[in-house]
């Protein structure tokens, strides 16, 4: 059954826009980098896409403090989304967030909050695109990143470099890659890709 027929059937039950799986496409591929082999996480994302602002997901993205480690180490989100911070540790922590809008700009502190054992979750909204470095003033080894993007079309590559980004409207896009060990030249590089409805575009990226 085509999308037009589905839209006609469901309009009476739920007026508004109806989306079908075949109306969007997928980008999948492989990211080749020695940093992945060394255990560093890397994010592949669509630089710009129509649809802004993008709705917050029903389940907030979350970052936890577990055994003196931020989990996950890298958390991509979209500008305007909230993140829920937790701590499972018995030690006193704090949430020290430093924001960097661009590679060459100096980082600025955006919040610094205590997280005693048993604390309730802390919810913070991120309004600007850029990179947030999460630290702990008490435990200097604690370090993580929140990558604030323009759109939700992103994926964290697996250990072998595989990634898959689903639900992308058809069109021409530029992919970019972020990794904490990549320099400005590599994070600025773009990789063009064309997405077709109901199809998967395959790319290989080697920043």
pLDDT at 21: 56
> Is 24-52+152-207's fold the same as 53-149's?
yes
Query: What pLDDT score does 100 carry?
Result: 87
Tokens of 68: 């003196």
pLDDT digit string (tens) for the chain, length 207 residues:
444 443 333 333 333 333 445 799 999 999 999 999 999 999 999 999 999 899 999 999 999 999 999 999 999 999 999 999 999 999 999 999 999 887 667 789 999 999 999 999 999 999 999 999 999 999 999 999 999 999 999 999 999 999 999 999 999 999 999 999 999 999 999 999 999 999 999 999 999
In the prediction, which pLDDT does 90 show?
Answer: 94
Domain boundaries, the chain: 24-52+152-207, 53-149
- CATH number for the domain formed by residue range(s) 24-52+152-207: 2.60.40.1120
pLDDT at 104: 65
Q: What is the pLDDT of residue 102?
A: 72
pTM strictly above 0.75: yes
Q: What is the CA radius of gyration of the chain?
A: 19
Pairing mode, strands 42-46 and 162-168? unpaired
* Predicted pLDDT at 11: 33
Beta strands in the chain (DSSP E): 25-31, 42-46, 62-66, 69-71, 74-78, 82-87, 93-100, 108-115, 122-125, 130-135, 143-149, 154-156, 162-168, 171-179, 191-195, 200-205
What integer pLDDT is reported at residue 6 of this predicted model? 39
CATH class of 53-149: mainly beta
pLDDT the model gives residue 101: 80
Return the pLDDT at 103: 67
């Amino acid at each position: 059954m085509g999308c037009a027929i589905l839209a006609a059937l469901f309009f009476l039950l739920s007026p508004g826009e109806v989306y079908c799986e075949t109306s969007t496409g997928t980008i999948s591929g492989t990211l080749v980098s020695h940093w992945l082999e060394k255990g560093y996480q890397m994010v592949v994302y669509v630089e710009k896409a129509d649809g802004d602002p993008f709705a917050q997901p029903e389940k907030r993205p979350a970052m936890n403090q577990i055994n003196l480690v931020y989990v996950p180490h890298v958390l991509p989100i979209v500008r305007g989304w909230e993140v829920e911070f937790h701590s499972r540790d018995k030690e006193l922590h704090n949430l020290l967030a430093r924001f960097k809008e661009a590679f060459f700009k100096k980082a600025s502190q955006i919040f610094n909050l205590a997280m005693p054992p048993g604390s309730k979750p802390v919810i913070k909204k991120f309004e600007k695109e850029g990179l947030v470095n999460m630290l702990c003033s008490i435990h200097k080894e604690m370090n993580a990143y929140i990558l604030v993007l323009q759109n939700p079309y992103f994926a964290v590559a697996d250990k072998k470099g595989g990634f898959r980004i689903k639900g992308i409207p058809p069109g021409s896009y530029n992919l970019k890659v972020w990794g904490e060990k990549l320099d400005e030249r590599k994070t600025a590089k773009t990789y063009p890709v064309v997405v077709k409805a109901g199809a998967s575009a395959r790319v290989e990226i080697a920043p």
